[in-house]
Amino acid sequence: MKSEDKGMDEDFLRQPFDLRRFVLLGGRRLWIVLPVMLAGAVLFGLFCYIKQEVYGPEPFYRCDSLYHIDFAGGQEEEAQAWFNDYTWNDVIDSDVIAGVAATILDGIDKQYIADATFVPTMTDIHLFHIYVDDPSAEKAEKIRDALEITLASFSFRRGDIDDISSWKRGDAELVTHTSTLLRWVIAGAVVGLLAGLAMLAAHYILDDTIRLEKDVENAGARCLGVVLKDKKDEKEEKRLKELLAEELKGVSQLRIVDPAGTAISEKSAAYVRGLLPGGIKLNTGDPEAKTLLCVEAGSISASELHRQLQGRKEAAILCDARAALHQAYYFFGRRKEKKG
């Protein structure tokens, strides 16, 4: 490959992302985002429902009791390193508390009591909570009462504690897990939105079909003007006629070529012929004749046109272009250029 052709290919591949073109072309497919968002919300919501309702923990009753420790005089500093929520959980699960409580309760063993009790994080070594969790409110309260008795007897066995007193005897209250279904649904919708936009972006990047005058220029041709499909633009017609006259000055034979290999609409073809200077013979078969590309919007990709041109800066006209798309794109673009 010649260095000049290689440089042209690199320029074609390095074209920057055109956000304005993406918004205008992708906006027609925004409806794709809605079902993807809906699918994301449904999938995430279904996952949360199964997680909570099928595999989630059952509601249970909890007794929350608060105890106060009176340390022996001068023992607080020594006890501070030992009495915390970690050590209390171990102590309550041991024989001296859970084991003794099991001897008080009929039909409830030490391991059951150990599994049902939990000491949350302590913020003061003098105070600690004991949670008793059980599917049965009656059984939770029985374990609470047994622990209160055993904790009182436990204090007499230690020289660094004068007394462990109950400050609050919490009755059994039903604990239900807060549903996070709504948050999961919203998260699924957001993920679906991002996925939908990613799909639009991927489609935009992969689809380089020529739809705008700028697309023809990016492919490597010289776009003289545009023939709109559903609207007549007198200013554009006058400008295009003048450019064709300048381009075809001294030309006697002209080949009008559609790069896509499919004939452009008869209306556009007649319109283009009407803009040509008089005295030019069309499509005589002479290979030396001047070439004018008539590129139908939506008929060929920019990469395919770039390949066909092989570095030649052929003159081209974009035919059957959508007026709304063209005018919206170049209205904002040209306003920006004028301000600059």
Question: Which token pair is 267?
Answer: 């209306």
Q: Output the pLDDT for position 159.
A: 66
pLDDT at residue number 265: 77
On whether the CB atoms of residues 44 and 180 are closer than 8 A, the answer is no
Identify the CA nearest to 315 among candidates 241, 215, 244: 244
| Beta partners for residue 225, in sequence order | 317
118's CB contacts (< 8 A; 6+ apart) are 89, 130, 131, 133
The pLDDT, as a whole number, for residue 320 is 87
Other CB atoms within 10 Å distance of the CB of residue 156: 11
According to DSSP, residue 75 is labeled -
Domain total of the chain: 2
Using one digit for the tens of pLDDT, what is the confidence trace for 279-333?
A: 888 877 777 888 899 999 888 999 999 999 888 889 999 988 888 888 888 765 5
Average pLDDT over residues 136-153: 90
Residue 120 sits in a domain whose CATH number is 3.30.70
> Which residues, including other chains, have CB under 8 Å from residue 301's CB and lie 6 or more apart?
207, 208, 209, 210
Provide the domain limits for residue 270. 210-339
Residue 54 within a domain: no
Rounded (to 5) percent helix, strand, coil in the chain: 55, 20, 30
325 within domain boundaries: yes
Q: Specify if 130 maps to a domain.
A: yes
pLDDT per position as a tens digit, 7-65: 556 666 677 778 888 888 887 788 889 999 999 999 999 999 888 877 777 788 999 99
**Which residues are CB-neighbours of 201 under 8 A, at least 6 positions away?**
22, 26
Pair (143, 214) in one structural domain: no
pLDDT tens digits, one per residue of 157-216: 666 777 888 888 888 888 877 778 899 999 999 999 999 999 988 888 888 899 998 899
Q: Which amino acid is at 293?
A: L
Among the candidates 175, 193, 219, a domain finishes at 175
Q: Looking at per-residue confidence, does 126 or 102 come out higher?
A: 102
Pairing of strands 173-175, 290-296: unpaired
**CA 117 – CA 16 distance, rounded (Å):** 63
Residues 139-153 have a mean pLDDT of 89
How far from the centroid of its chain's Cα atoms is residue 173's Cα? 41
Is residue 22 packed enough to be buried (19+ CB in 10 Å), middle (13-18) or exposed (0-12)? middle
- Residues 335, 214 share a domain: yes
Q: Which pLDDT value is given to residue 339?
A: 41
If phi > 0 it is left, if psi is from -120 to 50 it is alpha, else beta; for residue 174 that is beta
Give pLDDT tens digits for 54-95. Answer: 777 778 899 999 998 887 766 666 666 567 777 888 888 888
CA–CA distance, 219 with 178 (Å, rounded to integer): 58
Pairing of strands 253-257, 127-134: unpaired
Secondary structure class of 14 (helix, strand, coil): coil
- CA 38/CA 188 separation, integer angstroms: 8
Are 236 and 300 members of one domain? Answer: yes
Rounded Cα distance between 117 and 85, Å, is 12
**pLDDT, mean of residues 99-118:** 90
206-212-215-221 Cα dihedral, nearest 10 degrees: 150
pLDDT at site 5 = 52
* CA-closest candidate to residue 210, choices 137, 308, 276: 308
Q: Is residue 303 part of a domain?
A: yes
Helices (H), the chain: 3-13, 19-26, 33-49, 76-80, 85-93, 100-104, 110-116, 137-156, 181-206, 213-219, 234-247, 266-275, 302-309, 323-339
Rounded to an integer, what distance in angstroms lies between the CA atom of residue 113 and that of residue 93? 7
Q: Using the 3D structure, point to which of 149, 175, 201 is the last residue of a domain.
A: 175
The answer to the question of residue 4 being in a domain is no
For 231-267, how does the pLDDT look when each residue is reduced to its tens digit (9 = 90+)?
A: 777 888 888 888 998 888 888 888 888 888 776 778 8
Q: Among 175, 192, 226, which residue terminates a domain?
A: 175
pTM of the model: 0.57
C-alpha 239 chain-centroid distance: 45
Identify whether residues 277 and 221 lie together within a single domain. yes
